[in-house]
Homo-oligomer: A and B are copies of this chain.
Amino acid sequence: METPDNATPAGDPDDTDTPTGIAAKDWATASAEPQYRAAVVDLLGALAYGELAAFERLAEDAKLAPSLEDKAELAKMASAEFHHFERLRDRLAAVDAEPTAAMEPFAKALDDFHRQTAPSDWLEGLVKAYVGDSIASDFYREVAARLDSDTRALVLAVLDDTGHGNFAVEKVRAAIDADPRVGGRLALWARRLMGEALSQAQRVVAERDALSTMLVGGVADGFDLAEVGRMFSRITEAHTKRMAALGLAA
């Protein structure tokens, strides 16, 4: 698997370890370009709403917990997502963007995703928390390389604070060990999650030009649909490997 860390960023074939282009600039310099500015506001809005929606879903899933310890663990994840939301919202305000206006364009896609993938039991909730956390991490890493230094620092800080995955992995593995048929059901579930996530992501990409253009290699290089496809396919591959490691054929 190509990880975003050692992959050559698209649209920048001469990239070395020294940041170039947008990545070499700070926010004050980079944001002078209106389209870049709009793309970052879009990105922060999408991430902020994503964290708030994740808070709500994890808090909801905590109800399915079989024990008080498990409930507390999911509540802790939910609370961590809320703190990510706060940082992203505060950053939007700090760059004079109205947080609500920045989040709203992404509310429908994220709400639809969560509505389409409401877990029917505790294990489905855990797999969803794990898959969601992992895909979000992959996406944050993909996008970080394309950001100015200030925005990148924020995105990486929010990413750094995640990683609740171990809890989910342990519980899911134990459940599959106890009853291997659970693995088949959860593998189907993980496929559905990924399919629904991609379908909503593609809707967002189609609707938000500035954001999509940035994601695929920077404002100057124009929109490259093939590169969007490659990014989705890197994220999907990473997902497949994680599912296999979890004992779920993806």
* Stretch touching chain B among A60-68, A141-149, A230-238: A60-68
Q: Is A169 an interface residue (CB 8 A)?
A: no
Indicate which residue in B67, B71, B99, B103 contacts A52 across the interface (CB closer than 8 Å). Answer: B71
Q: Is A56 an interface residue (CB 8 A)?
A: yes
Within 8 A of B (CB), among A50-74: 52, 55-56, 59-60, 62-63, 67-69, 71-72
Q: Is A75 an interface residue (CB 8 A)?
A: yes
* Stretch touching chain B among A79-87, A118-126, A170-178, A204-212: A79-87
Instruction: Report B-chain residues with C-beta under 8 Å of the C-beta of A75.
Output: 52, 55-56, 82, 85
Count residues of chain A with CB under 8 A from any CB of chain B.
27
0/1 interface trace, chain A 98-113, chain B, CB 8 Å (1 if under): 0110011001000000
Q: Is A76 an interface residue (CB 8 A)?
A: yes
Instruction: Report B-chain residues with C-beta under 8 Å of the C-beta of A83.
Output: 79
Q: Is A89 an interface residue (CB 8 A)?
A: yes
Minimum distance in angstroms from A115 CB to a CB of chain B:
12
Minimum distance in angstroms from A216 CB to a CB of chain B:
28
Residues of A that sit less than 8 Å from B by CB: 49, 52, 55-56, 59-60, 62-63, 67-69, 71-72, 75-76, 78-79, 82-83, 85-86, 89, 99-100, 103-104, 107
What would 16 A/B residue contacts be, using CB atoms closer than 8 Å?
A: A49-B68, A52-B68, A52-B72, A55-B79, A56-B75, A59-B59, A59-B60, A59-B62, A60-B60, A68-B99, A68-B103, A68-B104, A72-B85, A76-B86, A78-B79, A79-B83
